[in-house]
């Protein structure tokens, strides 16, 4: 007879989805603000060498990706192992072959991938205007300003996503994150002009 479907593994997956969603927003926001800060810095310094700006931003993007993957994997793995060990002690049994054991092995990988790719993808989106700078110059558009606009848009969308999760008014939630980004830009502009 065929074994029945295992809804309890889905339960672990659902739990991981909620953790991954949290990581996605947290690290995505982190990544977007970092790149926004860098691009704003390059803009106010009057940087014209796009290759230098792109290299620096890509360096930060890759670092965010690696940091996101490794930090989430290590912390999530440690948490899962602690939880599994506690449960094994309570049940006085080995749970390595159980759904709990499988979850403690596979779910940290899933969460780590989300945590790594979230800032990576957002950073690449924000850097798109720098990649296509030649086309933007043809339209008399500043690639740095376009990049800042894309970053603000991404951060607004993250806020909207948060609003959808918390089932609050999406526009208000989006505006809240947008205000944080605008304040960040304002502080960078202030210090950029001071020094």
Partner 1 sequence: MATIRRLVLDVLKPHQPSAIVFASTLADFSADYWVSLDVTEMDEKTETTVITIEGDDIRFEELAAAIERMGGSIHSIDEVEVTGSEQG
Q: Which residues bind partner 1 (CB under 8 A)?
A: 1, 3-8, 11, 86-87, 90-93, 95, 97-100
Instruction: Please report how close the Cβ of residue 1 comes to partner 1 at its closest, in angstroms.
Output: 6
C-beta closer to partner 1: residue 55 or 93: 93
Instruction: Please report how close the Cβ of residue 71 comes to partner 1 at its closest, in angstroms.
Output: 27
54 within 8 A of 35, measured Cβ to Cβ: no
* Two structure tokens written together for 54: 């792109």
Distance CA 118, CA 122 (A): 6
C-beta closer to partner 1: residue 11 or 165: 11
Instruction: Please report how close the Cβ of residue 11 comes to partner 1 at its closest, in angstroms.
Output: 6
Instruction: Please report how close the Cβ of residue 16 comes to partner 1 at its closest, in angstroms.
Output: 13
C-beta closer to partner 1: residue 12 or 163: 12
C-beta closer to partner 1: residue 3 or 138: 3
The overall longest dimension of the chain from CA atoms, in Å, is 75
Q: Which residues of 132-147 are buried (b: 16+ CB within 10 A; e: fewer)?
A: ebeebeeeeeebbebb
Distance CA 75, CA 112 (A): 9
């Amino acid at each position: 007879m065929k074994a029945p479907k295992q809804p309890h593994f889905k339960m672990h997956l659902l739990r991981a989805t909620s953790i991954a969603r949290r990581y996605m927003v947290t690290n995505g926001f982190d990544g977007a603000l970092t790149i926004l800060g860098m691009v704003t810095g390059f803009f106010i310094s009057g940087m014209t060498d796009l290759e230098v700006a792109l290299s620096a931003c890509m360096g930060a993007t890759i670092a965010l990706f690696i940091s996101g993957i490794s930090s989430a994997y290590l912390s999530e793995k440690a948490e899962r192992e602690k939880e599994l060990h506690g449960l094994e002690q309570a049940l006085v049994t080995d749970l390595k072959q159980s759904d709990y054991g499988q979850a403690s092995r596979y779910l940290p990988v899933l969460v780590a991938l989300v945590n790594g790719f979230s800032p990576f993808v957002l950073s690449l989106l924000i850097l798109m205007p720098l990649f296509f700078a030649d086309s933007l110059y043809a339209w008399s558009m500043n690639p740095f300003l376009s990049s800042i606009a894309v970053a603000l848009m991404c951060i607004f969308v993250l806020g909207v996503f948060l609003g959808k999760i918390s089932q609050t008014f999406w526009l208000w939630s989006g505006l809240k994150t947008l205000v944080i980004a605008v304040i960040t830009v304002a502080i960078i502009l202030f210090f950029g002009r001071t020094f």
